[in-house]
Amino acid sequence: MFAFQTLLCSLLTMLPPSGPEPVKIEVFPTQVSLTHARDRQGLVVQAIFADGSGLDVTDASNFNLDRPIASIKNGFLAPLADGKANLSVIYRSRAVKIPVQVSDAQKVLPLSFRNDVMAVISRAGCNTGKCHGAASGKDGFRLSLFGYDPEGDYFRITREMGGRRLNLASPENCLLLNKATGRVPHTGGIRVEPDSESYKILTTWLDQSAPTDPAESRVLVGIDVYPKEAVFAKPGLKHRLVVRARYSDGTDLDVTRFSVFVGNNESAAKVGESGLLTATGPGEAFIMARFDKFTEGSAIIVRSGKPFEKSVDPKAGEIDNLVLAKLDKLHIRPSGLCDDETFLRRAYIDLIGLLPSETEYDSFMADQSDDKREKLVDKLISRPDFGDLWAMKWAELFQIRTTNGISDKALKSYDGWLRSRISKGESIDSIVRELIPAVGGSFDNPPVNYFQTETSPQILAENVAQVFLGTRIQCAQCHNHPFDRWTMDDYYGFAAFFSRVGYKGAMDPRELTIFNTSEGGISHPVTSKSVKPKFLGGDEAKIPPGTDYRNVLSTWLTTPDNPAFARNFGNIVWAHFFGIGIVEPVDDSRVSNPPSNPQLLDLLARKAVEYRFDVKRLAREICLSKTYQRQTSRNETNLLDNRNFSRQTARRMRAEILLDCINQVTGTTDSYRGLPEGGRAIRIPDGAAQNYFLSTFGRSERETACTCNVKNSPTLSQALHLLNGETTGGKISSGTVVPKLVQQLGDPNAVSTALYLRCLGRRPSRSESEKIKAALAQSGDPQIGLEDLFWALLNTNEFLFNR
Amino acid sequence: MFTSLRYATILLMLAPVNSMSQENVPTYDGSIKSILIKRCGKCHGGDQPRGEFEVGTFDGIMHGGISGPAIVPGNSADSLLFTLTAQIEEPSMPPNSPKIPASEIELIRTWIDRGAVEKAGSNMTTARQGAADTGRERQTPTGLKPFQPMTAATAVTAVAVSTELGLIALPAVKSIHLYDLANGKPKGQIEFPEGEVHSLAFHANGQRLIASGGVGADSGAAVLFDTKDWKRLAEVRDDSEAIITADISSDEKLMVVGGPLKTVKIYTLPDAKLIHTLRKPTDWVLSTSFSPDSLLLAAGDRFGGLFVWESRSGKEFLTLRGHTKGVTSLAWDASGDRLASASEDGTIRVWDLHSGKESHKWLAHQQGVTGLGVTSTGDFVSTGRDRMIRIWNASAEKIAEFGPINDIPTKLATSPSHIIIGDWSGKVYLLKSGKNTLDNLQIPVNSSNTFAIGTIEIPLPELADSRAALSAETSKFSDSKLNSNSVVIPPPRQVTQPDIERKRLTLRALEESAERLKQEASMDPTNSLLIKAYLQVCESIVSIKADLIQTEQVLTKRNADSP
């Protein structure tokens, strides 16, 4: 009757847990394989409740193995005997079965420097940047940063200083252990507790004469962190993380206790040394585990614990549904949709960088049709200004500027090339396919200027990765990236694509000819071996002899199968319309900086491919989503949310657009280098062109490929310039808008309404009207009063910001 | 039985407190001085202590620094020495570093609270009793002791050879091993309780042996032995670092030491009085050497710096620029006119001391030169990271080479009859002059396998407490009403019949499991893990049985109580 053919090895307590019944439980990892005597695997059991929240119930679950091949305590499996079995995990009414396999249960693997000793050193924090991992070491002893160079570390620990650091004849009394345990003064204090597992691993290694690893040692290929995500119902709950390392021979190992945990938002969740995390407050956190050269993360959501009603919106589109799904997880209600006036101004600024005129305002407001917003978006994206705006954005990323000997003539042709491609309707992928493999003279074939702007293979590789793949690989030039997956091999493999860019002069001394050298390469600084071109995050490139490396690269970059290119494109377009990317900063996608909504990013990437990287179509789709059309005001549930598009963000207009708008409303023009009088600031060809207003308001000088060169942060000089500078006061009087309006309309109150419409895209409110009326009555000359009003409007945040 | 156990515990708790109050009152000389020198001496010691606060002497500690008195005897809470070290007050000490070990802080606190006495028998009111008994606390055993092999071979950090004595000296654990040069047999050992041995050299035709070493980052010593009876003639100590290199002048009037502190110190002999502290080196001092006429002194550092001073006056004589990496070894020619230096940069350079110019330079070992010596015939012998031993004539021509040897050669010594080389793996090689082969010195090892990976315990992971999480609301409520001293008694949970059923079910399953495990274990008796698991299950059975009985009682009682 009780056919309990089970072994209850671990008995937590027999009291049934209280609390609600889960809809399911999940057990991580989903299979266990123990391959040697010291192999262990920790499990984490997550109960999922009807509201979508999860709870770590590992401590309250029962673990039953149907054959006694392993022992289980604290959800931690240790091998007993070889064989296969099923492990039943039971929590309340829910059960999950996972396979367990044990082999070589009695076999003790020899200690490995690479896999065991280095794990102890990394976990103890010896090789961090502020300790011995610093470029010049610390207190006379250097290790490679986060252990990117294990062979070098082995040399430095054992043989660099003869017998100072180790003493194999008295392992427990050598400098390495004396320092680590704080028995002798150590700037880093006590890093390893005597009698801990770490301490014993070190002493045992020394006792075995500090051997190095055999050449054919298994190599770590990756780590997994469990669970990948957790949703906490309220602050105060705890959850444990399990880290599993995967090796080249197919084995795995629980390395939780040797991993270093870091969180990115302690106000939502913090993580302890053992990988136990605690929800501290509502919000999101990303918890990273680092082991050896790998970093992986777990996405944590903490709800406020207050009652929440799911938002239901039958009219929501694809984009909206993904945004709402995330907001539901967070228990956040989105803000409502903005009114027509707000939408009109927002769409104008975002799509063409100008403000709606009074006539445009009137006709839009008068339109009663349901699809008037759609019609407006279609009208705006077909205006040439839309192309100009995007040409400016790409020009920033291509760093189009007179630098490194690029002459005005070459620059003009470079800028002209980009604009002509965009006005012809060419999309970014085909532009990139023309840009990256470009050869020829810098006058004849403008895109070769890209290779004159930056000339070193390393920087070219960094820029291409940052601009077209949204990834910063700079760190990996000198050491494996500590918080991402990039290693020095990846870095130099990618840089190798640019190792055959040749330069020679041309007839005209201002011109440079770029050609493919068809030989040469780049060498790895640690191994000094020549590195073959390798796609970033992909395989080594198969390049037929005689083919230009860059040709192969540009094809790989822009192929629809390259998710990074499409995601990056989608993210750049998205960020333009929200002031913040799904990955933010847009060009810093990495393991430790994950997208706030991966499903949304994937959707945009899919759309990008579907639309063949046509900015217009993607922009149209985004602008017509409810998500784009939300108000900027907050409700009580999204007060703290800045990353999940639960509302629109108020964004200061970028420098060029702001100046164009000021010129537009004051009816004035400016002259810029390289443009005829009256040209728009967004069309300035040269990043190095100087303009006081634009520099003050953070125009990108295009000195690097980083999107951070565009600065939208407020400064005191901006405020002072608007208050006292020529740009406002001077343009108001020279543009003679007020006298013209006075002449045209007569009534000062009608003029004030017209000024409101011009600058803010709305009519003055009743209280504003009354104040204006009173103020105008006080000032003797209505023109002066109205010009004062105009000046005041240009100084309002409402004017400066797109909301 | 329960009561007696409790008494036993109380007794155990009382015992150490009791003994402390009578005899183990910490004293400055007893334990505090060494802690303070070790942990604070780097800054609060020497000629110019930081904050004018010096910890190396009792007077210094009592005098305090620019922040005022460091100690209020009997009151640790008002004593800066304690509050800053415990990092209760700012500026926390040691600066920008974690606290020193808690046990040491506790000792300092106790010492202050017990009156901050200088030495056993003294107290604050009697102040200092003159410096009559400031001699060394412990007497180091001297003389030749029976040879005790090491438990494992380790890097040969020093080597010395004397043809006259017919001896090789090698480092061992807190001692120096002596081997017969003629037959390679161990002859005995001399104690070196100061720690590891980093340098060894015979002088004066074998009448003297100088040894230096210590405990890295902790303490160091250089000791001059009389080889007649192996008694200590002179000792130099360092309170914070090991001494990596030491030498004595041929007139036996001066001793020089250097190490990680980046200073070269000159002492007079035999009184071991410090006469000069030279701060020219910019990195660890790796090599020091007096000229044959004792007039000059050279030192090389880990950064490639090479300096020569007048030994008596400590006046700078020359800075020899050229090496780009650590200067590992120095050798003078017999006249003292020329100095040869070996470096990790791979080169050997010969310097003319009259002109201060480099007269020869050659790449001896591409990956770095680890040792350099002059042979009886005036040739150079060098060892390198390429595991090679090379002999060069005065014009830098290679005349012989040996190797590669087992591991990287670490130290080299020459004598009229022999060249001795030690390597990182603990092997020692002999090269007899006139012979063309390397001989191996047999180093006896008494290996003891103290450590085995299989026995290292793997700690269990920490689990999240889901029960506490689920009942967080209630506990928060009760927390606010309770103060920290009150004992929280959990409210009795209503036990139900199903609970008992569950427990019985579990118990039965466990008993079956135990039976199975027993069978498995009997089939595989060598598997200790199975037996362990069996015992664990048995333990669980016992505790569940006890729990079950209790639960049944509760239920029976309740059923009886209720009408």
| Contacts with A179 from chain B: Cβ below 8 Å | 216-217
pLDDT at A363: 96
| Size of the A and B interface in Cβ pairs below 8 Å | 249
Beta-carbon separation of A81 and B520 below 8 A: yes
- Chosen for mutation from B93, B245, B449, B462 (greatest number of chain A CBs closer than 10 Å) is B462
Average pLDDT of chain A is 92
Checking if the pLDDT of A35 tops 90, the result is yes
Q: DSSP states of B131-183 as a string? A: TTT-S-SSPPP-S-B----BSS-------EEETTTTEEEEEETTEEEEEETTT
Is pLDDT of A468 > 90?
yes
Contact between chains at A109 and B99 (C-beta distance less than 8 A): no
The reported pLDDT for the residue numbered B122 is 57
Residue B299 near chain A (CB below 8 Å): no
A75-98 per-residue burial string, b: 16 or more CB within 10 A, e: under 16 = bbbbbbbeeebebbbebbebebeb
DSSP A88: E
Residue A331 has pLDDT above 90, yes or no: yes
Provide the shortest C-alpha distance from residue A526 to chain B (in Å): 16
- Tell me: the pLDDT tens digits for B29-49? 888 888 888 888 878 887 778
How near does any CA of chain A get to the CA of B312, in Å? 31
Report whether pLDDT(A551) > 50. yes
CATH of domain B160-441: 2.130.10.10
In chain B, which residue's Cα lies nearest the Cα of A47?
A: B466
| pLDDT tens-digit series, residues A736-794 | 999 999 999 989 999 999 999 999 999 999 999 999 999 988 888 889 999 999 999 99
DSSP annotation of B320:
-
Residue A302: its H or E element: strand A294-302
Chain segment A438-452, per-residue pLDDT in tens? 999 999 999 999 999
Average pLDDT over residues B56-81: 85
Do domains A7-102 and A655-802 share one topology? The answer is no
Contacts of A245 (CB under 8 A, 6+ apart): A220, A222, A223, A252, A253, A255, A291, A292, A294
Residue A264, min C-alpha distance to chain B (Å): 21
Lateral strand order in the sheet of B398-402? B369-374, B380-384, B389-392, B398-402
For residue A11, pLDDT beyond 70: no
Decide if A478 contacts A458 (C-beta within 8 A): no
- Partners of residue B286 in chain A, C-beta under 8 Å: none
Q: For residue B132, is pLDDT > 60?
A: no
Helices A340-352 and A372-381, interaxial angle, to 10°? Answer: 20
**Which pair of structure tokens corresponds to residue A659?**
């100046």
Select from B96, B421, B463 the residue whose CB has the most chain A CBs within 10 Å, as the one to mutate to test that interface: B463
Residue B494's pLDDT is: 60
Over 90: is that where the pLDDT of A288 sits? Answer: yes
B152/A179 touch (CB, cutoff 8 Å), yes or no: no
B138, pLDDT greater than 80: no
For domain A7-102, the CATH superfamily is E set domains; domain 4 (2.60.40.1380)
Q: What is the pLDDT of residues B206-246, one digit of tens each?
A: 999 999 999 999 999 999 999 999 999 999 999 889 999 99
Q: Residues A590-610: what's their mean pLDDT? A: 95
- Alpha-carbon gap: A522 to the closest alpha carbon of chain B (Å): 24
At A708 the pLDDT is 87
Residues 6 or more apart whose CB falls under 8 angstroms from that of A724 comprise: none
pLDDT of res. B500: 78
Cβ separation B458–A78 shorter than 8 A: yes
pLDDT at B449: 67
Q: For residues A428 and A450, give the distance between their C-alpha atoms in angstroms, rounded to a whole number.
A: 15
Lowest-confidence region among A170-179, A286-295, B370-379, B472-481:
B472-481
pLDDT greater at residue A214 or residue B250: B250
Domain range annotation of chain A = 7-102, 113-207, 220-302, 338-382, 386-475+484-542+551-558, 655-802
Looking up tokens 């000793």 gives A117
**Tell me, what DSSP letter sits at residue A335?**
P
B360-391, pLDDT tens digit by residue? 999 999 999 999 999 988 999 999 999 999 99
Q: What is the pLDDT of residue A591?
A: 86
> What is the C-alpha to C-alpha distance for residues B63 and B69, in angstroms, rounded to an integer?
6
Picking from B38, B104, B154, B543 by the largest number of A CB atoms within 10 A of its own CB, the best residue to mutate is B154
Q: Is B537 on the interface with A (CB under 8 A)?
A: yes
Q: Among A178, A179, A274, select the one facing B462 at the smallest CB separation.
A: A274
pLDDT of residue B562: 57
Q: What is the pLDDT of residues B445-483, one digit of tens each?
A: 988 766 788 889 999 999 998 877 776 543 333 333 333
Q: How many CA atoms lie within 13 A of B367 on its CB side?
A: 11
Give CA A217 to chain center in angstroms: 35
Report the pLDDT value the prediction gives residue B364, as an integer from 0 to 100. Answer: 97
Predicted pLDDT at A780: 81
Identify all chain A residues contacting B527, using CB atoms and an 8 Å cutoff: 80-81, 106
| Mean pLDDT for the stretch of residues A672-691 | 93
CA distances from A58 to A27, A53, A88, B458 (A): 9, 16, 13, 19
Q: What number does CATH give the domain A655-802?
A: 1.10.3130
Nearest CA of chain B to the CA of A225: how many Å? 15
> Hey, are the CB atoms on A185 and B503 less than 8 Å from each other?
no
User: Which range (A526-530, A630-634, B219-223) has the least confidence?
Assistant: A526-530
Cβ of B547 and A14 within 8 Å? yes
Task: Please check whether residue B470 touches A, CB under 8 A.
Answer: yes
Q: What is the pLDDT of residue A15?
A: 41
A196 contact residues in B (CB cutoff 8 A): 459
Answer yes or no: CATH 2.40.110.10 is held by domain A220-302.
no
**Which tens digit of pLDDT belongs to each residue from B475-511?**
333 333 333 333 333 344 566 777 777 778 788 888 8
State whether residue A496 is helix, strand or coil. Answer: helix
| Per-residue model confidence as pLDDT tens digits over A58-86 | 999 999 999 999 999 999 999 999 999 99
Residues of A in contact with B493 (CB under 8 A): 15
Percentage of chain B beyond pLDDT 70 is 86
Q: Label each residue of A351-402 as H, E or C.
A: HHCCCCCHHHHHHHHHCCCCCHHHHHHHHHHCCHHHHHHHHHHHHHHHCCCC
Where is pLDDT greater, at B498 or A227? Answer: A227
Determine, for residues B472 and A237 on separate chains, whether the beta-carbon distance falls below 8 Å.
yes
Question: With an 8 Å Cβ cutoff, is A48 touching chain B?
Answer: no
The shortest CB-CB distance from A203 to any of B157, B171, B451 is to B451
* Residue A612 in this model has a pLDDT that exceeds 70: yes
- Which of A123, A85, A129 is closest to A103 using CA atoms? A85
What pLDDT does A18 receive? 56
Say whether B463 and A163 touch across the interface (CB within 8 A). no
Query: Of all helices (H) and strands (E), which one includes residue B213?
Result: strand B208-215
pLDDT at A428: 95
Q: Give the model's pLDDT for residue B103.
A: 84
